[in-house]
Chain A
Amino acid sequence: MDVLWDTEQALTATELRDRLIEPRHDASPKPLAATTILTVLSRLEAKGFVSRDRGTRPHLYTCVTTRAEHTAQLMHQVLGSVPDRDEALARFIGNVTSQEADTLRELLGSVTATKR
């Protein structure tokens, strides 16, 4: 995904593989099988990260949207979830009520006051 996000263009599976192998020139150049690349790409396509253009042969792959957009979507999911719905994760802080927000601001105010 990093390769697709960094490049602005659509790539074929072979081009993708070349770009993945390049940086590995130093250590052991593990031969990445084309089939591995294709499998990973189809999984990423299923998850909505990659879109495949079947118009040309070989198929062209592009990222659906930017990394930042995906991150924002995920974070909105994490932050927006009501405590009842958080089944998989445990946040340091849940959503605060408006009264709690006031209490927290008071606390910060008193802390900075004592520091001076």
Chain B
Amino acid sequence: MLVSALVLGALAVALAWPVPVLLAAARWPARSPGVALALWQGIALAGGVSMIGALLCYGLSPFGTGVADGVRALTAAILAGTLGAGVSFAHVLALCGALLLGTHLLLNLAATFLRAERQRRRHLHLISLLSDPLPDRPGMRVIDYEAPVAYCLPGAARSATVLSKGLLRLLSADQLRGVIEHEQAHLRQQHHLVLLAFKSWHSALPWFPIANRAEHAVALLVEMLADDRARRVVDDRTLATAIALVGLGQQADLPAASPDTASGEVWMSSPEHALVAPRVHRLMTAAVPLSRVAAVAAIATAITLALAPAVVLLRA
């Protein structure tokens, strides 16, 4: 059990710092964003489970060999009212830590999803009042606004894609097709699920240096994935131009908006949050996707990572 605790602890530390830092700094994710996304998810899942698993294994070590055994002995001891010899304060602390951490992560995940769902529903209601449906496109709405705006409201039940009149005026038919396809990709592939998961991980462990970087890395990869789908219907240059037109058009509108933002934050985002330039650069340089061998290896690593802590726990 102690050995398992050490192994899981080492894995947790590796997955908390060096591994994500390497992945965040790597260049290849832009070539195959789907593969990189799978790897990020493997890292996040394995990181969380090994953290909790390490604490659990250490805390259960005086109670028996193997997790199931230990839990049984622990329950019996609690019911009997005494923890017995060999159980130190450190063990108890570890057990409480495991329980609290696990509960905290799960509750935070649930809260994040519920909050997003509530916001989505409220927004959908406003949109139904303020916009008109697009004639032959179900789920699409047009809102009477000058600046070019395009976004989607993803969700299990009713989802919607909202376009502004300014956008329809600004873009050519091809460019518009690219934008619509991009938004549809978000909806079809349910990107919001993975985005919310990483957002909740970040908010649950705000002192984790890598959680912030992970969230942004995942956000960028998700946009690139949607861009890839859009590239199937329009050429790269058209999509890049659409991005440029919308990005600059929105920027022109924002200074009027800043008094309304909650904390009076300036609309310009900081360089670490650059989500647009990498997309444009990627489209204009026509990067070659990862080789099949490399992609398979990466996915295999992601799956192994996701399963490893569970395996260690079962064989502890």
A residues contacting B by CB (< 8 A) are 1, 47, 49, 67-68, 70-85, 87-101, 103-105, 107-108, 111
With A and B bound together, what is the CA distance between A87 and B116 in angstroms?
5
Question: In the complex, what residues of A have CB within 8 A of residue B130's CB?
Answer: 67, 70-71, 74
Once the chains bind, are A80 and B267 in contact (CB under 8 Å)?
Answer: yes
Question: In the complex, what residues of B have CB within 8 A of residue A89's CB?
Answer: 120, 123, 151-154
Once the chains bind, are B247 and A87 in contact (CB under 8 Å)?
Answer: no
- Whether a CB of chain A sits under 8 angstroms from the CB of B246 is yes
With A87-B116, A104-B280 in contact, is A92–B183 under 8 Å at CB? yes
Type the 1/0 row for B265-285, where 1 means its CB is closer than 8 Å to any CB of A.
101111101111100100010
Known contacts A88-B153, A90-B195, then 13 further A-B pairs from the complex at CB < 8 Å, ordered by chain A residue: A75-B253, A76-B257, A82-B269, A84-B215, A87-B112, A88-B119, A90-B152, A91-B150, A95-B267, A96-B268, A97-B269, A97-B271, A104-B243
With A and B bound together, what is the CA distance between A63 and B256 in angstroms?
24
Report A102 CB to chain B, min CB distance, Å: 10
How many residues belonging to B are interface residues under a CB distance threshold of 8 Å? 66
Whose C-beta in chain B lies nearest to the C-beta of A73?
Answer: B260
Once the chains bind, are B240 and A107 in contact (CB under 8 Å)?
Answer: yes
Once the chains bind, are A104 and B151 in contact (CB under 8 Å)?
Answer: no
Once the chains bind, are B271 and A104 in contact (CB under 8 Å)?
Answer: no
Type the 1/0 row for B178-221, where 1 means its CB is closer than 8 Å to any CB of A.
01001100100001100110010000000000000001100100
With A71-B143, A104-B247, A111-B241 in contact, is A88–B123 under 8 Å at CB? yes
With A and B bound together, what is the CA distance between A71 and B250 in angstroms?
15
- Whether a CB of chain A sits under 8 angstroms from the CB of B244 is yes
With A and B bound together, what is the CA distance between A105 and B127 in angstroms?
31
- Whether a CB of chain A sits under 8 angstroms from the CB of B258 is yes
Once the chains bind, are A94 and B179 in contact (CB under 8 Å)?
Answer: no
With A71-B145, A80-B257 in contact, is A93–B247 under 8 Å at CB? yes
Report B285 CB to chain A, min CB distance, Å: 12
**Option from B261, B268, B275 in Cβ contact (under 8 Å) with A83:** B275
Once the chains bind, are B153 and A79 in contact (CB under 8 Å)?
Answer: no
Question: In the complex, what residues of B have CB within 8 A of residue A71's CB?
Answer: 130, 143-145
Whose C-beta in chain A lies nearest to the C-beta of B128?
Answer: A1
With A and B bound together, what is the CA distance between A99 and B260 in angstroms?
24
Once the chains bind, are A78 and B241 in contact (CB under 8 Å)?
Answer: no
B residues contacting A by CB (< 8 A) are 112, 115-116, 119-120, 123, 125-127, 129-130, 143-145, 147, 149-154, 164, 179, 182-183, 186, 191-192, 195-196, 199, 215-216, 219, 237, 240-241, 243-248, 250-251, 253-254, 256-258, 260-262, 265, 267-271, 273-277, 280, 284
Closest 4 CB pairs of A and B: A88-B119, A92-B150, A76-B257, A104-B244
Question: In the complex, what residues of B have CB within 8 A of residue A104's CB?
Answer: 243-244, 247-248, 276, 280
Question: In the complex, what residues of A have CB within 8 A of residue B219's CB?
Answer: 83
Once the chains bind, are A108 and B241 in contact (CB under 8 Å)?
Answer: yes
Once the chains bind, are B261 and A80 in contact (CB under 8 Å)?
Answer: yes
Once the chains bind, are A92 and B269 in contact (CB under 8 Å)?
Answer: no
Listed by A's residue number, 17 A-B pairs whose Cβ atoms lie within 8 Å are A49-B129, A74-B123, A75-B147, A75-B253, A75-B257, A76-B260, A80-B261, A87-B119, A87-B196, A89-B120, A90-B153, A91-B149, A94-B273, A95-B254, A97-B273, A101-B247, A105-B244
Report B217 CB to chain A, min CB distance, Å: 12
With A93-B243, A101-B251 in contact, is A74–B179 under 8 Å at CB? no
With A and B bound together, what is the CA distance between A85 and B20 in angstroms?
23
With A70-B130, A88-B116 in contact, is A96–B123 under 8 Å at CB? no
Whose C-beta in chain A lies nearest to the C-beta of B195?
Answer: A90
Report A65 CB to chain B, min CB distance, Å: 12
With A and B bound together, what is the CA distance between A82 and B275 in angstroms?
12
